Chain A
Amino acid sequence: MDSLLTQFDELAGADGRTRAPYRKLSQWLAATPPELLASRREQAELLFRRIGITFAVYGAQEATERLIPFDILPRILSRGEWTTLEKGLIQRVAALNAFLADIYGGGEILRAGIVPADLVYRNPAYCPDMAGRRVPYDIFVHIAGVDIVRTDDQGFFVLEDNARTPSGVSYMLENREVMMRLFPELFAMHRVAPIENYPDELLATLRSVAPPRANGDPTIVLMTPGQYNSAFYEHSFLADKLGVELVEGRDLFVRDDIVYMRTTEGPRRVDVIYRRIDDDFLDPLCFRPDSALGVAGLMGAYQAGNVTLANAVGAGAADDKAMYTYMPEIIQFYLGEKPLLQNVPTFRCREAEALAYVLDRLDELVVKEVNGSGGYGMLVGPHATRAQIEEFRAKLTAHPQNFIAQPTLALSTCPIALASGVAPRHVDLRPFVLQGANGARVVPGGLTRVAMTEKSLVVNSSQGGGTKDTWVIDDAWVDEKAMGQA
């Protein structure tokens, strides 16, 4: 618990002196009456209700959709901080792609003994059907959501790589839109890097990996599991922004290894599928035969090179929490570079020594299931009950290879506006990295997730976390303007 008390606040800094990126926000907050903040909070709630941005929660008794809490104060990064982060993210995704091309290709990293072969071949996300297959431009991960945390003003840690179908980018875009309507005066005071171009960048990325026959004018679709999926709102939102058709499996069919979309004007050939559906459900002839969400024959068309899937099938083999622990070595191996972003120190419970250490300190550590996501299957030791700890002890002892453990990080905090006033809450950040044949890019910012409950470290929206708008501001401009006013 001590570690939580020495947390780093991104506004107040370590020494209580307002950090540079937050100087103007801080001044503005001091000059703003609480009633104004309260009324803006109400307006924000109304705006989000009108937009209808919701998130279905799995496992909830009444599996209803609910509004994700939104906090009206921006989370601010300086241009300098962002530049460091951006370089690190691009490096990370380049390494993820090189790793995937290798484990489905020559397997050099396995032969070099850097990553244990059983971790790859026994990983449920490793897809045997992809072995020996090339994907266009060797890009497996076109869209990555890399979860970032910080504990001081020195650097950033990667908490998790999401290389399958990362979600949340619609909240990033909506948050910005709502903020611009709520606080035009704050935007006037800061030069905030734009993010509205994300859909254009995503479209350019998807176009760049289309099969050659599309001749620069590919037909792109966004494939969703349907309206009951927790991220359906995002799927329809993105299809709309991209200007592409939103399809379900039943809207597509495959004939002679070519994918077609049913349209009112007859079948239309599809070149690129931005799929937001898990590997297992893509094609009932290759994966789960009971999947009614997929398209029979899709894998055949994919392997024939007649359609590009983004992200590639089997990309999940790289973002597994056990593989995460090898990321520094993976970056070094393929790129010959030192990792620019650090990993959180992680214990691999599959190793006997680490397991013993972890079992001794379950009340201090965060234990995560290797294949869990969304904050499910996770133990936050310092906040867990005796019973929860014992439950995890049993699970760990039975299947140690399914778990990793990390120290409870003193995640940084940012101010949020509550009915009772402004208070710090823990945050993380999910920037979205795009990798196409046209290069890699990251729109400045990302989705800041915030634990709305005091002292809580779980920021996942499925666990009651909220979101904030994330600003990258130009330092030089801020300083100049500040001097001009002085």
Chain B
Amino acid sequence: MRIRIRHETTYRYAEAPRMAVQHLRLTPRNHDGQHIVGWRIDVDRDCRLVQSEDAFGNTLHRFSVDGPIESISTVVEGEVTTFDMAGVVSGAVERFPPILYMRETSLTAPNAAISAFAREAASKESGTLARLHALLGALHESLIFDADATHATTTAAECFEHRQGVCQDFAHLFIACAREIGAPARYVSGYFLRSDAEDQVAGHAWAEAYVEDLGWVGFDPTHGVSPHENHVRVAVALDYLGAAPIRGAQSGGAGETMDVRISIAQAPAFSPSQSQSQ
């Protein structure tokens, strides 16, 4: 499937900062399940955008801008061709052995309730893959999507208490549970093509867990499925913090607000350019 994505993030300040620095993880890379047809990144400020690869092999762009800064707007847009790989991620950049992804982080640390839930959910199955799918099903059934219940720094344990949250929280929970049953797991940030709406207010997030003999396999607890051709994978890390689309800091200034507009639509296949489809 060919997917067209446009993602605009605008920060506005009531009181202009003297300076701002941002780290962007907004550029997807190729793997066997996706091919980047074209991608561009644009910041509406006079700055030098430095591209590098981060610890986990994600494409990272960094920039700093001098103030006074009333707003910063970053737009990424492009097209990606995706293939349904039944959730298996192969051909991706891997910079660490799977064991690294057993590390606990504060966002993904399990508590006693999560440990008990994970063991119980996985107990009926044998084999890592089946156990992970059992976890996926159990989490999907018991979690309720509620954008107002949590925030960017909500931990897996906090989310589990009320069983409410957003895709980020569910990914953290899945990671905590997977590591609890001995499977290395990591966070994925990306995009999801919905059939019901083109415009979205947030990106998507899911998890990947390592299965011996199969490699990394995706699990999307929000939808209760393994990622398929509607998923575009952008960045991976131990948790949200390492894969966050934008991390920024300012000196001075106050009253920051953020506005995100994302549009994800299916692009006609076999079309060499957008103009032909319009």
Interface residues of A (CB under 8 A from B): 117-118, 121-122, 124, 128-132, 250, 253-257, 284-286, 289-290, 296-297, 300, 303
Contacts and interface: CB of A to CB of B under 8 A. Distances in A.
Contacts of B66: 255
A122 B56 CA distance: 15
A120 to B, nearest CB: 9
Contacts of A117: 97, 99
Contacts of A300: 23, 50, 62
Contacts of B50: 256-257, 300
13 contacts: A118-B102, A121-B99, A121-B103, A122-B100, A128-B96, A254-B21, A254-B64, A284-B249, A289-B153, A289-B241, A296-B251, A300-B50, A300-B62
B99 A122 contact: yes
A128 B64 contact: no
Contacts of B238: 128
A23 B158 CA distance: 64
A253 B102 CA distance: 34
Interface of B: 19, 21, 23, 48, 50, 52, 54-56, 62, 64, 66, 95-97, 99-100, 102-103, 153, 238, 241, 247-249, 251
Contacts of A256: 48, 50, 64
B97 A255 contact: no
A69 B154 CA distance: 44
Contact of B21 (A121, A131, A297): A297
Contacts of A122: 99-100, 102-103
Contacts of A131: 55, 95-96
Contacts of A284: 247, 249
Contact of A285 (B52, B97, B102, B249): B249
B197 to A, nearest CB: 30
A247 to B, nearest CB: 14
Contacts of B103: 121-122, 124
Given A128-B55, A285-B23, A253 B99 contact: no
A303 B96 CA distance: 18
Contacts of A290: 153
A253 B251 contact: yes
B134 to A, nearest CB: 25
Given A124-B103, A131-B55, A297 B64 contact: yes
B249 A296 contact: yes
A286 B248 CA distance: 10
A286 B54 CA distance: 10
A284 B23 CA distance: 11
Nearest to A117: B99
A392 B102 CA distance: 25
Contacts of A129: 54-55
A414 B50 CA distance: 58
Contacts of A128: 55-56, 96, 100, 238
A128 B94 CA distance: 12
Given A131-B95, A296-B251, 20 more contacts: A117-B97, A118-B99, A118-B102, A121-B96, A121-B97, A121-B102, A122-B99, A122-B103, A128-B96, A131-B55, A131-B96, A250-B251, A255-B64, A255-B66, A257-B62, A284-B247, A285-B248, A286-B23, A296-B21, A300-B62
Nearest to A255: B64
Nearest to A121: B100
Contact of B62 (A118, A124, A253, A297): A297
Contacts of A130: 55
Contacts of B249: 284-285, 296-297
Nearest to B247: A285
A132 B52 CA distance: 13
Contacts of A132: 95
B99 A285 contact: no
A242 B258 CA distance: 44
Contacts of B241: 289
A84 B241 CA distance: 47
A300 B99 CA distance: 26
A300 B49 CA distance: 12
A132 B19 CA distance: 30
Contacts of B54: 129
- Give 10 nearest A-B pairs by CB, closest first: A296-B249, A128-B55, A121-B100, A297-B21, A129-B55, A296-B21, A118-B99, A121-B99, A255-B64, A285-B23
Contacts of A254: 21, 64
A228 to B, nearest CB: 21
Nearest to B65: A255
A257 B62 CA distance: 9
B100 A289 contact: no
Contacts of B56: 128
A59 B190 CA distance: 42
Most chain B CB atoms below 10 A, which of A132, A290, A300: A300
A303 B53 CA distance: 11
Most chain A CB atoms below 10 A, which of B62, B95, B97: B62
Most chain A CB atoms below 10 A, which of B95, B96, B248, B249: B249
Contacts of B97: 117, 121
Nearest to B103: A122
A90 to B, nearest CB: 32
Nearest to B238: A128
B93 to A, nearest CB: 12
Most chain A CB atoms below 10 A, which of B21, B55, B251: B21
A251 to B, nearest CB: 11
A303 B62 CA distance: 12
Contacts of A285: 21, 23, 247-249
Contacts of A257: 50, 62
B48 A253 contact: no
A153 B102 CA distance: 45
Contacts of A250: 251
Contacts of B23: 285-286, 300
Nearest to A257: B50
A403 to B, nearest CB: 16
B110 to A, nearest CB: 12
Contacts of B251: 250, 253, 296
